[in-house]
Structure 1
Amino acid sequence: MKTGLGARLLAAAILTVAGFALQARGAPWLGPDAAPVNAVARLVGGILGWLALAWVGICLVDIAVRRLSALGRPGAPPPRLVQDLARVVLLGGAVIAIVGLVFDQPVAGLLTTSGILVVVLGIALRNMIADVFAGIALNMEHPYRIGDWIEVAPGQVGRVEEINWRATRLITRDETSLVVPNGLIAGSHFINFSYPERHYRKTLRLPMDPAAPPQRVKLVLRTAALAAPGVLRDPAPIVQLEGVDEAGAVYLVRYWVADGADENRCRDAVVGAVLDGLQRAGMTAAFPRRAVSMLPRPRETATGSTAPAAPLASMLGRIDLFQAFEESDLRALADAAHRRRFTAGRALVSEGEPGRSLYLLTEGILDVRVDRDGGTVSVGRLMPGAVFGEFSLLTGAPRAASVVAETDGVAFEIDKDHLAPILRSRPEVAAQLADLMAARQRRTRERLEPAETVAAPQGGAPDRRDLLDRVRGFLGL
């Protein structure tokens, strides 16, 4: 029992005793000559006693409702509707008792008149009365509470803001108020997204080309969902193949959001991440087609896997390291790049080992780890589109961190032998690369802890001239 409620109950009980005592004995201390005042005192005592007794009943109902509410759903606010109804009944009973027992007036006529009035009002307000009793049932059962996100009809979703006598008021995701009669909610089904847990699952339905390998599509879509901000990692997103229709093979991307307020933001992030991931992987979502297209057979690499040269060249062009390169240079690098497929748990590079190549991640998630205090510490994650190994590619510096696959995936490796011919034909690009890497290394060392600097080489930060000499010496320029 809360202190405030207990104090109210004690005060009501004291006033009840005092009121009835005053009604019974009057004010004898005023003497026999104060009979009129004594009579008024008895009336005041009777009125006070009955009203205070009603107050005692209200406090007891409040206590009972709070305890029953806590047993049903811990943390749920007590149902106001039941408390308000108890106040009306108890105060109405107190008024009738005052009329009949204090003022000694007949109440039979009053009750009869009240009964007729209740029947008339009941017929006229039957829908409203049904909503009131439905509200009582909802408050007793507690299928939802203040702050829950519910769907009362398809497309009508909102956060419960208030449950009153007649209706439940929701605040929609558009920040508008939706008022739903309690009878409508009680008489139909609704969905509570916030119970039994605050987080819940949503699904993105996506048709894909049936010719695309299902396992690869699932990996790309799952990686994209994991990379979307706001999506829970526990439970982790899953991707399932639903079937095939006229648009293509239909995949279901199932992900969890923390709260109903995050749903639209998470869906926007997931759709954006999926489209971005598909672009990096050289895929597109499918749609119903009526035209026939004749496409050349994809070129096969030495390892027998299809090399998406055009998408890879486009991705390289968006990396600041290669922005000074001509389109023909980017295509040459994309054609020469080695496609590396990796499985979860495999280390692509290890800290301290010699390096001479750069990696561009197109599918999957990688974990960046460094050795610290005799153990291995994770300092970051790499998502599709990330690049690592720039300093090793340009200077041969040892790997500054270990990069381990968190999921299956694909990365493209660009070796120094692929870059050196381009820089020999365009020596000015080497100077631009040295300027860029020197500036990047200075920013990195200013903003990050040394253990978090994944791309930077070990040792002190060289200036632009030293770095250019190292690039020329390593690449034989």
Structure 2
Amino acid sequence: MSALRRLFPPAAALALLATAVAYKPWLHAHLLHVVGPVLSDGFDTVVASAAWLVAAWGGSRIVDALATGTAERPARIPRLLSDLLRFFLYGFAVLAILAFVLDQPVTGLLATSGVAIAVLGFALRNMIADIFAGIALNIEHPYRIGDWIELSPGVAGRVDEINWRATRLITTEGTAIIVPNGIVAGSRFTNVSRPTPAFRVAVPVLLDQEVPVERAKRVLLSGLMCADGVLASPRPDVVVVEATANGVAYQARFWMEDGARVAIVRDGVLTAILGNLARAGIELAHQKREFRPRRSATNPPGTLRRRLLQQLDLFAAFDEAEIAELALALRKRRIPAGTAAVRQGEPGQSLFVIAEGVFDVQLDQGAVPVRLNRLSPGDLFGEMSLLTGQPRSASVIAGTDAVVYELDKDHVDPVLRRRPELARLLAELMAQRQTRNEEERVRQGRAGAAPPPVASQDLLARLRGFFKL
């Protein structure tokens, strides 16, 4: 309907001109007495000239209809090409008026214009090349408004405008880059928004050869899966790209959709990876020419376990000796990807501290489990079963191959009997932890997916009853 509305004015004007031609004798007879013979004889010239101009007007309206897209139908021809077609339509109409209406020779005019155009074209050859490159880009559509393109390393942005001469990009810093169309068309560039919005980013990491490849991949992959902005599908992965004298080069590869957030997501990925490497006791590789005391890839017994416990707020009230005692009691367990560390409803009397890998906390409600949370290295789960003996409240499934340390009730019991006051502190810490978890579920729109938090006094009563304090 909009296209018909565009064509209505020129069609009405042509109908009016056709009516004037049909009634030409009558109009001549009446105009002769009003305007005189000279102006009356010019009636045919005016009508013919107007007909050519109205025809060009109608053609430009058709071009506009083809160049204007809608949500249901994209534009059939680019905007730059439509501007060029309108220019030729009106230019042809003017030449037709000169040749067929006014009986003027246009051959000399065209020859003179050709020389002038050649001189002007030589002077403006770069600009003309940019214009035709812009037309070619709009015909081929290698990128569109809103796409993110990278012209060279470090030069990338969102396409904001494609005009006659140049393409304007808006960078992640909010600045504009104006690139002539000739440069874009004559160089290689990357469109990260095509053929799909998702694109892959790789983060290089160099580790010592002493770190087993399987372990390195597990630690790096857990960092990828815990970072915000990383798509779950396609699944991120870690590959070995090179083995050098300085170490083994890995690429942590992940997929994302928003080109404006590449730097932010890379920052989150690297932060998570470095944190996981630190918790696992793994250092980045260094230049082997440097004289530097080598730290073993395997930590002395108890060092890593003690560090993991010290970082947990649940054990903040325990002193160094008690932390060391519990660290020696931890049992190392390997959990393959897709395997449940604990199942909802099962009895249990232990907690788990994640050393490597990631876990998904799932609540079995109906046919499809509800994922409550994702746990990363340094997190723990199962503390309610350890301290109160209640069945597991949710299933915890390994998202990657993982390593956890298990702490049993029998290992905590001697410490609580020596210091009964720790029971109250543990109950308060557990209540605070449950409250934070509930607030996070509300923030994510998952309120009510898990049992409500329990008051610290109720937890203290359960804890004392379970440990018979």
The question of a shared fold, defined as TM-score above 0.5 by the shorter chain, is answered with yes
Alignment length (residue pairs)? 458
Structure 1 equivalent of residue 212 of structure 2: 213
Q: 1:340 aligns with which of 306, 320, 333?
A: 333
Structure 2 equivalent of residue 406 of structure 1: 399
Structure 1 equivalent of residue 33 of structure 2: 33
Q: 1:367-387, CA deviations, whole angstroms, 9 ceiling, x for partnerless residues?
A: 323343587544333232221
In the alignment, is residue 436 of structure 1 matched against residue 429 of structure 2? yes
Deviation at 1:221, TM superposition (A): 1.1
Structure 1 equivalent of residue 137 of structure 2: 138
Q: 1:9-55, CA deviations, whole angstroms, 9 ceiling, x for partnerless residues?
A: 34323323433553675534735413546456544433331111112
Deviation at 1:245, TM superposition (A): 1.4
Q: Distance in 1 between matches of 2:434 and 2:197?
A: 43
Percent identity, aligned pairs only?
A: 45
Q: 1:391-412, CA deviations, whole angstroms, 9 ceiling, x for partnerless residues?
A: 2221222221222223210111
Q: 1:270-329, CA deviations, whole angstroms, 9 ceiling, x for partnerless residues?
A: 111111121222222212132252657957xxxxxx75x334333323322111222332
Q: Distance in 1 between matches of 2:189 and 2:447?
A: 51
Structure 2 equivalent of residue 293 of structure 1: 293
| 1:61–1:435 Cα change, 3 Å | closer
In the alignment, is residue 157 of structure 1 matched against residue 156 of structure 2? yes
Q: Distance in 2 between matches of 1:29 and 1:91?
A: 33
| 1:23–1:171 Cα change, 3 Å | farther
1:345-424 to 2 correspondences below 5 Å: 345-373=338-366, 376-424=369-417
In the alignment, is residue 9 of structure 1 matched against residue 2 of structure 2? no
Structure 2 equivalent of residue 22 of structure 1: 20
> Which amino acid is 1:18 matched to?
L
Deviation at 1:440, TM superposition (A): 4.6
Q: Distance in 2 between matches of 1:296 and 1:260?
A: 40
Deviation at 1:445, TM superposition (A): 6.6
Structure 2 equivalent of residue 303 of structure 1: none
| 1:280–1:76 Cα change, 3 Å | farther
SS of the residue 1:413 aligns to: strand
| 1:94–1:31 Cα change, 3 Å | closer
Moved more, 261-270 or 22-31: 22-31
Q: Distance in 1 between matches of 2:57 and 2:370?
A: 64
Deviation at 1:437, TM superposition (A): 2.8
Deviation at 1:228, TM superposition (A): 1.0
In the alignment, is residue 50 of structure 1 matched against residue 52 of structure 2? yes
| 1:393–1:95 Cα change, 3 Å | same
SS of the residue 1:452 aligns to: coil
Q: Distance in 2 between matches of 1:297 and 1:122?
A: 68
1:238-387 to 2 correspondences below 5 Å: 238-289=237-288, 290-293=290-293, 307=301, 309-373=302-366, 376-387=369-380
Q: Distance in 2 between matches of 1:23 and 1:113?
A: 35
Structure 2 equivalent of residue 59 of structure 1: 61
> Which amino acid is 1:116 matched to?
V
Structure 1 equivalent of residue 182 of structure 2: 183
Q: Distance in 1 between matches of 2:320 and 2:248?
A: 35
Q: 2:465 aligns with which of 448, 456, 473?
A: 473
Deviation at 1:171, TM superposition (A): 1.2
Checking the alignment, whether the CA contact within 8 Å between 2:6 and 2:65 is kept in structure 1 is: no
| 1:125–1:462 Cα change, 3 Å | closer
Q: Any gaps of 5 or more consecutive residues in structure 1? A: 300-305
Checking the alignment, whether the CA contact within 8 Å between 2:361 and 2:395 is kept in structure 1 is: yes
| 1:297–1:160 Cα change, 3 Å | closer
- TM-score, normalising length: structure 1: 0.86
> Which amino acid is 1:9 matched to?
L
> Which amino acid is 1:470 matched to?
R
